[in-house]
Chain A
Amino acid sequence: MFDPRISIIDDRLSTIDRVIAVVSGKGGVGKSVIASTLALLLAKEGFKVGLLDVDFTSPTTHVVLNASGLQPIEDKGIVPPEIHGIKYMSLVFYLGNTISPLRGTELTNILLEILAYTCWGRLDILIIDMPPGISDLMLDMLKYVKRAGYLIVTTPSKMSFETVRKLIMLLKGLGAQIIGVVENMLMSGSTEYIRREVEALRERYLGGIHYDTSLEESLGNVEELLKTGFALELKSILQNIIM
């Protein structure tokens, strides 16, 4: 027995130039705001961009985008709805506010279904917001979406970087493409600690983003969000790398 979903995934993703997964060894470091804001910035620059939330048990990108009322269209697959110029796909479309405890194998199944049935059409870039840590889902991504590049997020904390170090080693060991490391929630100037550690691993330190007290209030309001220092710093960091 084998699974026809797997053989269609490459086909479905073949209309996408570049796949970027936003990851971290730790939770709560800013993956979801970075993934969502990056998608918004790219759309504003005129790129054809998609955003896929694969944190199935705790999706949050819809909060950043204020996108909970949307519904995908069914047409020989699932056609993601568009919001703020982004083709957007999340399980919240189906789950709403209900809770749904899901175990590892079920998460794998959902990933396969979403990858096999979502029709993205032509995209320059697909951004994927990942759940925290080296999870089952991370391993599934590495198995089923081999072409993904990984944008790694850490905070300045040594504890955060300790988990990121393991993640980098895993990604490297499996031959995955690492785009670089973003240091988020800087309290003052750069501490240089993360830069040193990243460079010691022979990866790219992309830059730091300061803790921004105006960010929280702008979540859900895209115009305000794009004006925050957070968005401006993210843009300048990724300008030459992704945009």
Chain B
Amino acid sequence: MAEAIISAVSEVADKENFKEVKSVLVLVGELQQVDREVLKFAITQLRPDKLAKTRFIIRVVRASFTCKACGHKWPFRESVLQDWVKEAIHFVPEVAHAYIRCPVCGSPDFEISGGRGVWIAGIRGER
């Protein structure tokens, strides 16, 4: 994942003709279950010289679900899940559909509204 972030940032920096990238804001969905410190460390290990001085800000976005059958909204609580399910959700959050049901109506037809995937929300740099 660190690799993906770095290659995406480098791509944008090239496209925007940045001489220097000051800071990058990375949003990580809670469902991704990434340890912020570990991700930060991996980024500092893997980054090319060009990004040596860049500050990486990593924020975790809470996950929630919205039922498409009854409209109920509820937060993700990983504590109720078995370890291997958590691990699967870490790579493919949509796996949640197999193991989580709407607490109100029991439907598996819900939307993962926020808290999934990794996003680069902002890049600041100097030309």
Contact = CB atoms under 8 A, between A and B. Distances in A.
A110 B1 contact: no
Nearest to A9: B4
A112 to B, nearest CB: 8
A78 B4 contact: no
B88 interface: yes
A5 B4 contact: yes
Given A7-B4, A11-B7, A78-B91, A99 B121 contact: no
B114 interface: no
A interface, by DSSP: helix, strand, loop or mixed? Answer: helix
A102 B94 contact: yes
Contacts of A1: 27, 119-121
Contact of A106 (B1, B8, B94): B94
Interface residues of B, number: 29
A117 B98 contact: no
Given A91-B92, A100-B108, A109 B116 contact: yes
Interface in A1-31: 1-8, 11
B125 interface: no
Given A1-B27, A94-B95, A113-B93, 12 more contacts: A1-B120, A2-B119, A3-B8, A3-B117, A6-B8, A8-B3, A8-B7, A8-B8, A74-B87, A99-B108, A109-B116, A116-B4
| Top-3 shortest CB links A-B | A98-B98, A4-B4, A100-B97
